[in-house]
Amino acid sequence: MYQFLETIQFAQGKYLNLEGHQARVNRTFQQFFPDVASLLLEEILSASEIPVGYGTYKCRLVYDKQLRQVEYLPYALPAIRSLRLVDTCVEPSCYKHADRTEYNRAFALREECDDVLLIRNGLLTDTSYCNIALGEGTTWFTPMTPMLYGTRRGELLCQKVIVERDIFVQEIVCYPKIRLFNAMIGFGDLEFEITPETVR
């Protein structure tokens, strides 16, 4: 049976974008478990043992038809300053599968880089863990078809902070900077210039 994952940021005693995560859980149940009522994240999290004190934690939930695991892990921003361009044939998904085998295979090809930037049909998609946006200043473009339709990506699109666009791999040199973001990494927290040394 398929297992799925939600990674929710728990920071300073609060869960971030719980509404977005619940919407994805609901879509997952409608698609894969239509005969079962969806998990209610607020109910699950209110009954979980939350960390004592302040700080940032990764709240990780694994589930299928029922909840399998809830854990809280201390979180620190990763040091990512370089990306290896890697082709993939993995299908884009609206659902966050717990099985990361294909992503791990791609990540293993990073060589001396910190992470990979996945290319599908000649188009930029995501890194192994993050959605991306390219640009500078107030205009940021995110790939029209990412590998995963992330919760923070959806939030940023609704807020019109980012704009969807097909970005061919050869066009990457037209953009000065790249931002990596996900449920744990805020928009602008992880940004660096695009050069032949940082994206190759």
Run of H or E residues at 158: helix 151-158
Write out the CATH class of domain 4-74.
alpha beta
| pLDDT at residue 12, as a whole number | 87
pLDDT > 80? residue 162: yes
Tens digits of per-residue pLDDT, 51-61?
Answer: 777 789 999 99
pLDDT recorded at residue 137: 80
Long-range contacts formed by 75-81: CB under 8 A, 24+ apart:
75/9, 75/184, 77/185, 77/189, 77/190, 78/114, 78/185, 78/190, 79/114, 80/114, 80/115, 80/127, 80/180, 80/190, 80/192, 81/114, 81/192, 81/198
In whole angstroms, give the CA distance from residue 200 to residue 185. 23
Could you report the per-residue pLDDT of 64-99, keeping only the tens digit for each?
999 999 999 999 999 999 999 999 988 899 999 999
187, 133 Cβ separation under 8 angstroms = yes
- What pLDDT does 138 receive? 83
Q: What is the mean pLDDT of residues 141-154?
A: 96
pLDDT of residue 104: 94
pLDDT score for 2:
87
Residue 84 has what pLDDT?
Answer: 97
Give the whole-number percent of the chain exceeding pLDDT 70: 99
> What six digits make up the tokens of 199?
């994206």
Domain boundaries, the chain: 4-74, 83-193
Reading the block at residue 155, the tokens are 């939030």
Average the pLDDT over 186-199 and give the result. Answer: 96
Q: Indicate if the pLDDT at residue 192 is higher than 90.
A: yes
- pTM check: above 0.75: yes
Q: pLDDT value at position 90?
A: 87
d(CA 170, CA 39): 42
Compute the radius of gyration of the chain from its Cα atoms: 17
Per-residue tokens: 140? 């940021």
Kindly report, residue by residue over 17-35, the tens digit of the pLDDT. Answer: 999 999 999 999 999 999 9
For 199, phi then psi, to 5°, come to: -135, 115
pLDDT at res. 28: 97
Pick from 161, 86, 163, 93: which is nearest to 127 by CA? 86
pLDDT reading at 106 higher than 80: yes
Tokens of 54: 């302040």
Structural contact between residues 177 and 136, judged by C-beta atoms closer than 8 angstroms: yes
Percent of the chain with pLDDT over 90: 90
83-193 fold: D-amino Acid Aminotransferase; Chain A, domain 2 (3.20.10)
Give mean pLDDT, residues 105-115.
95
Q: Which of 33, 94, 18, 87 is nearest to 63 (CA)?
A: 33
**pLDDT averaged over every residue in the chain:** 94
